[in-house]
Every structure is written in structure tokens, then in C-alpha cells.
Amino acid sequence: MRDEQQVLDNMPASLASFYSHKIAMVRTAIADYLPTSIDAAFFECVTGEQPLYDQDYAAMYASIVEPTQEYLAASGKVLRPILAAIVLEAYGTHSDRMGSFLGAIEVMEDSSIMMDDYIDNSGLRRGIPCAHIAHGFPLANIASCTGFALSHYVFYRNVHGFSESKARRLLDAVAWEHVQMAYGQLEELYWTESDVNNVNESQYFQQVIARCAFLSFRGPLHYAAIIADGPRTDLPTLTRLGEYLLLGYHIKGDDLDMSPDSPAWGKIAGEDITTGRRTLLINHTLAVANNDDRVTIERIIASRTEDEEEKKLVYNLILKYKSFEHTREIAVRFHEKCYGCIDSLQVDGGHKTLLREFADFAILKRRV
């Protein structure tokens, strides 16, 4: 478990207070969402299927739940459930009564980063070996996609007992996010595997939104607003807010991958180069570099190298062309857009402050 005080120390005051007040409840909700063993009742609950015979529940648990539990135990900052809790309360719903929903959001996060890890063939996550390293690609694939499906049982089994109309709105919203996510994944993997070197910034932003906004942060904002019966006129604004928050946060994450500012990052520096990812940093450098430097970057990125000297060469070219400065400016622009969205939401001043501080923390202050 990461040092909670360290997280709080980096947070603006109101957000830190909210976080301190809610974090124990949120962590309990996360721990309670997935069982510590599977039995017939849980299986029937999450599948709607009545087994005809006894099953090997121990093998089932070990293969579809345990790897996600390992990620949950390594515990991140749980920002997404906290954001969802802010929105629930902003629209008048006590977040403590929506524990399963908040727990589900973090299970969604951890099962999907397990996917990201084997997609990127990463080595470490939060300081522990990634699931495909610990258990092999086949089990990481099965555990992550099934864990991800399980993270949604709060919606499709209507755990909180919402009206059918609300349950449907939530499920339709989830389905929309899944369509977007799968297409964004296609785009990114195509760029990577086909070594596409002419991705413009607009295409990059749309891809990031499509691939990641289901979780960071559009999805949780949407779901919380629907659950809390927030005004429908706020939904388009929440959509944009979630997307701008994501873009600022993601751009900062790409920068951190190249130049982590803390050993607690728990990942290997320059992994995006080894994976062949066309991040905003890389795309910007490719766009503005002279021909020789561009050829050098393209060669190294295409080689999928793990060589530190080669990665440093790319890093130095990124510095040379001031790409860090460029991406930081963009992140700041998205941060400003977040403020614009927050100002127009129909929520009270206190919750607007919390949302602004969340944007500050997620974008401007993102460290680990």
C-alpha cells in the first residue's frame, strides 16, 4: 500500500480533506467488491447461470479473480472512485451508500491496467511484477478481461437496486464507452505495430479519449451523475470535463514514463520507447525534428529496444526539440478547459472547488 500521507501532502486542501474523510470507506468498498473465494451463489449472481453440476471454484478463483486481487493489493491512489464520490455528493447522493459502485470503479481500473501491462509488455506495475510476468500472457489475458467483465456486475446485476430506467441508462452509457474503448485500442495498436510516424495531435487526442475515457475520467463522471440523478443538461459538460481531465492527466503520464520524478512510480523509464508507442512527446519531436534526428528516432522506436543508451538518445532529442515544454503547455491548456467546464456545472461552490482541485491534482501536480 502506498504512503497515503504522501498522496495527501501533494493534494490541495479541500480535496485532501474530502480524500481523508472518504478513503477508508472507498478502500473497504474496493476490498468487498470481489470475493475472497467463488461459490455457486456468486457464480450465479454474476452470470445469471444456474450451474447443473459442481464446479472447480478454486481453479476459477485462481484464474479469474486472484490476479486482479494482486493488483488491488498493490493499491493505487484510487482517484477514480474518489472523483465519482465527489460527483455523487455534488448531486446530493451520499457516496457511502454507493460502495459497490465505487468499488467497481477501482476493479475496472485494476483489471484494465492488467490489460495495458501485457499490451505494452511492461515489467513492473506499482513496484510488483505485471500479471503476464507473474502468471504468463494466457492467464493475464483471461484474468484481465474476465476481471473487467466482473467489474461491471454492479451495473448489469443492478446491485444497488436502481429503477429499470436508470439501470438501462447506466448500461447504455457503459456500452457506449466499450465501443469507444475498443476502437481507440485498434488505433493505437495499429500506429504502434505498423510504425505510423505521421499521427497528428488531433488524432492523438481522439485516440486517447476513445481508448481511456471509459475510466479516466468521463465514465466515472457520467455513471455517478446518472446514479445521483444529476441534471441531464450537465451530462455534455461532464463528458467534456472527463475528456479534458484525461488528456491533461495522460499527457503528464507520458512525460513521467520518459522522465519519472520518483522511485515510487514503480515502472521502468522509457517503456513507451521499447513498446514503440507514438506518444504526444514522440509525435511532437518527430514533427519538428530535422531529417537526421527524425530518422534516428524512427529507427530506435521501430527497433523496440531496451538499450538504455538508445533510449537516452531519444530522450535527449526530446529535450533538444523542447517537446516536454510543448506537452506541458498542452496539459495546462486542458487544465484551463477543465475549469471552464466546472464553472458551468449546476453544482454548489464547495463541490466546484473539489472538482477544480481534482483537476489541479490530476494534471498539474501529477507525480506518482
Partner 1 sequence: MAQADYLVSDVLGKGEFDWDFRCLDEGLMHLVGPYMAQPSGVTSLFCGALDELGASSEGNTQGALFVEYGHYATLINDYYTFHPEFFGGDISRRKAALLTQLRYAGQHLSNYPRYMLVNDSFALPDRQQVDLHDALSGAAVIQGASRGVLLAWMRARFKSITREQYLQNAINSMHSYIVFPVALALILAGADRPAIKNVRIALAYLAQAMKLLLERETLRQEVFATLAEPTRATLTILSFPGLVFVDQKRSLDAVLENGTGNESVYEFYVAARDIALADSGESARIYDSAIGQGLDRFEATLQRCGILENWGGGLANALRAGSGA
CA distance 25 to 30: 9
Query: Which is closer to partner 1, CB of 299 or CB of 304?
Result: 304
DSSP result, 195-239: T-----HHHHHHHHHHHHTTTSSHHHHHHHHHHTT--GGGHHHHH
Q: Report residue 126 as a C-alpha cell.
A: 506499482
* Minimum gap (Å) between residue 336 Cβ and partner 1: 15
Least separation in angstroms between residue 242's CB and partner 1 is: 12
Q: Least Å distance between CB 211 and partner 1?
A: 10
CB–CB of 190/119 below 8 Å?
Answer: no
d(CA 162, CA 227): 8
CB 211 within 8 A of CB 181: yes
**CB of residue 310 to partner 1, shortest distance in Å:** 14
CB of 38 to partner 1, least distance (A): 8
- Residue showing cell 475510466: 215
Query: Is 89 or 234 the residue whose CB approaches partner 1 more closely?
Result: 234
Amino acid at 61: Y
Quote the least distance from Cβ 258 to partner 1, whole Å. 19
C-alpha triplet 301, 304, 310: angle, nearest 5°: 65
Hey, what amino acid is at 86?
I
Residue 92 or 183 having the CB closest to partner 1: 183
Q: All 3 cell numbers of residue 185?
A: 485500442
DSSP code of residue 171: H
Shortest CB 157 distance to partner 1, Å: 7
- The residue among 190 and 343 lying less far from partner 1, judged by its C-beta, is 190
Distance, in Å, from the CA atom of 363 to the CA atom of 348, rounded to the nearest integer, reads 23
Q: With respect to partner 1, which residue has the nearer C-beta, 1 or 53?
A: 53
> Given the complex with partner 1, which of 3 and 195 has the nearer CB atom?
195
**Under DSSP, is residue 128 helix (H, G, I), strand (E, B) or coil?**
strand
Q: Considering beta carbons, is residue 5 or 165 the nearer one to partner 1? A: 165
